[in-house]
Structure 1
Amino acid sequence: MTGEYLLELKDSTGALAVIAPELGGWLLRYARPTAKHGLVDALHFSQAIVDRYPKEMWAGNPLLFPMVSFNHLPGREHHYAWGGREFALGQHGFARRSAWRVVARGESALTMELTDSEATRAVYPFAFAHRVTYRLDGGRLHFEQTVENRGAEPMPFSTGIHPYFQVPLTPRGERGKCFVKIPACQHIAADARYECFTPTAKPATELSVAEDVAHTLFFGEFSRRELTLVDPASELEIVLNWEGAPPHRYCAIWSRTTDAPFYCLEPWTALPNSFTRAQPGEVIVLAPGETFRAAMWMELRAAS
């Protein structure tokens, strides 16, 4: 992996992270030394995918802002309305396809910033500063996020992350035997147009990675905001924890196919079509000068 656009972080445990600020603030790798397998990558990575950026981003961890998923208006897909005006905005917003600026960098931490521009204001007419920090500590990768409304009007948005976890984690593993530990929560069923969502209480369970999730599964109201992806044959697991991000009320689970080399666990602040559905609490609205904050972490470790 080469190129001036790639920045590498390391900590004292030998864990590493590779980030491409100019390519959407894209986290490309998070890897950690293991006792039985050497250095293991938690995230799916392919240089071929990076070479196809921004047409294809099925790797690493793309950043979603100022919208998660999509929004439709009657007869107009990928459009939303706000303040009596309509705007076109592609799936998952523009942050993952925008160049971020590095504002602080150390050996084990990096902070990037995305601010509004003429291009963003054409589709999202708000002044903002969005900062993301990646920080390695004790082998764990921390994600810290702030969004500031720098304008004079209330600013709506939704946000989330989209990590593509590697399955299986090592050549010894078997994809079909991997599973996700899900705490007690609500399973949220969507209709065909994502205009109506129906929650059902669900006890703690294990979801097989062999199950087809090409039609995204949605969950919310978690007893604990933490999912664990387990690769039993490799004796490894990845924990994704967002207890420090209360506004991220939901998590989407998706993979392209049942044999894709990745599996996505995606904490979001909203469900699809949130601007049109206008459900209280989904679209976050910041007052002028207000700042949104969230913190999460992921950790590759021996299976418990």
Structure 2
Amino acid sequence: MQLTRIGNEHLSVEISPMGAEMQSIVTSDGQSWLWDGDAAFWSGRSPVLFPIVGKAPNDHVSIEGHRYPMGQHGFARRSEFELVASGPDHCLFELQSSQSSWSIFPFDFSLVLEHRLDGRSVVVTAEVMNTDHRPMPFGIGFHPAFVWPLPGCEGQEHRVTLDNGGEPDLIRLSGGLVRPEPLPSPFSKGELVLDHELFVADAMLFPEGAGAGLRYAAGSKAIRFTWENLPNLALWSKAGAPFICLEPWHGTAAAIDGSDALAERPYGEVLGPGATGRYSFRAEFVG
């Protein structure tokens, strides 16, 4: 598929219509900051998660008493978006409900993804509009993967530091579903030294208390990462893989032994008829 390229004096970003997913982020010095999607580890790069985040029990959700198939993280990331507007430093892609989406998510909706450059930052915004006549439950999240180690920082200690200095409880997954019992936080006064062993047991979820910003850094290089209207945070990598995903969400996977009802998923969102929800993250590249 033909990629859309946006750029300014600091950054060059490419976006695919498939999933409206970023394919590269390159600074003016030629350094790449986004994971390259090597399928030997994980073929994703920066998918948007909609209309669920995480897994559903037996890969099905119930909506108004009917069961529908729903794969992990929903269908938007595997859907072709339409480019509806673009300029030198921004572009908008839209996914609208269709015959194929109605068979698994029986609502009329519009999902618009905007990528915009602001100095040394890329800002990604999702707008979800309920164009149906009844309330629409869903989850939404972002899943950008950044290189680990950061450019030029091979062999150096990498840290994630929460802006709020918090020590949020850790939640783990089992078979892709949320274990209900919280575990001690891996953060100490807001700081976490990254180690691949942290991800042997899959993603680390922080449903509450992580705040709305963090710094992922090593040496003189850093990504200043902030998000809006996304109350949950996850960190994920595959053990030994050269990337780290910084994932702000509105919604998580279903709980073990929990309901498969879409409206009852933890931290989910519900929009009334005609309402619009707006969710975003900003990544600033330093060094």
Q: CA deviation at 1:57?
A: 5.4
Percent identity of equivalent pairs: 27
Pair 1:194-2:172 in alignment: no
Partner AA of 1:143 in structure 2: V
Paired with 1:58 and 1:287, the residues of 2 have a C-alpha distance of 35
**2:11 pairs with one of 15, 29, 46:** 15
Paired with 1:231 and 1:126, the residues of 2 have a C-alpha distance of 44
Q: 1:31 to 1:222 in 2, by over 3 A?
A: farther
Q: 1:175 to 1:45 in 2, by over 3 A?
A: farther
Q: CA deviation at 1:20?
A: 0.4
Partner AA of 2:62 in structure 1: A
Partner AA of 2:171 in structure 1: A
Paired with 2:244 and 2:265, the residues of 1 have a C-alpha distance of 30
Count of aligned residue pairs for this structure pair: 276
Q: CA deviation at 1:222?
A: 3.4
Q: 1:190 to 1:108 in 2, by over 3 A?
A: same
TM, length-normalised to structure 1 = 0.83
Q: Is contact 1:255-1:262 (8 Å) kept?
A: yes
Paired with 1:268 and 1:65, the residues of 2 have a C-alpha distance of 10
1:41 paired residue number: 32
Q: Secondary structure at the match of 1:96?
A: helix
Q: CA deviation at 1:206?
A: 2.3
1:99 paired residue number: 80
Q: Is contact 1:67-1:93 (8 Å) kept?
A: yes
Deviates more, 1:128-137 or 1:268-277: 268-277
1:152 paired residue number: 133
Partner AA of 2:48 in structure 1: L
Paired with 1:5 and 1:168, the residues of 2 have a C-alpha distance of 29
Q: Secondary structure at the match of 1:124?
A: coil
Q: 1:176 to 1:217 in 2, by over 3 A?
A: farther
Q: 1:7-86 counterparts in 2 under 5 A? A: 7-11=4-8, 13-21=9-17, 23-33=18-28, 38-46=29-37, 49=39, 58-72=43-57, 77-86=58-67
1:168-202 residue CA offsets vs partner (Å, 9 max, x unmatched): 122x3225621211331422324635252437676
TM, length-normalised to structure 2 = 0.88
Q: Secondary structure at the match of 1:187?
A: coil
Q: 1:267-282 counterparts in 2 under 5 A? A: 267-273=248-254, 276=260, 282=267
Q: Is contact 1:176-1:210 (8 Å) kept?
A: no
2:213 paired residue number: 226
> Please, which runs of 5 or more residues in structure 2 have no aligned partner?
none
Q: Secondary structure at the match of 1:39?
A: coil
Partner AA of 1:237 in structure 2: A
Partner AA of 2:4 in structure 1: L
Q: CA deviation at 1:279?
A: 5.8
Q: 1:211-290 counterparts in 2 under 5 A? A: 211-212=196-197, 213-214=199-200, 215-222=202-209, 224-232=211-219, 235-242=220-227, 245-246=228-229, 248-257=230-239, 259-273=240-254, 276=260, 282-290=267-275
Partner AA of 1:300 in structure 2: F
> How large is the Cα RMSD of the aligned pairs?
2.4
> Please, which runs of 5 or more residues in structure 1 have no aligned partner?
none
1:180 paired residue number: 160
Q: 1:266 to 1:284 in 2, by over 3 A?
A: same
Paired with 2:113 and 2:98, the residues of 1 have a C-alpha distance of 18
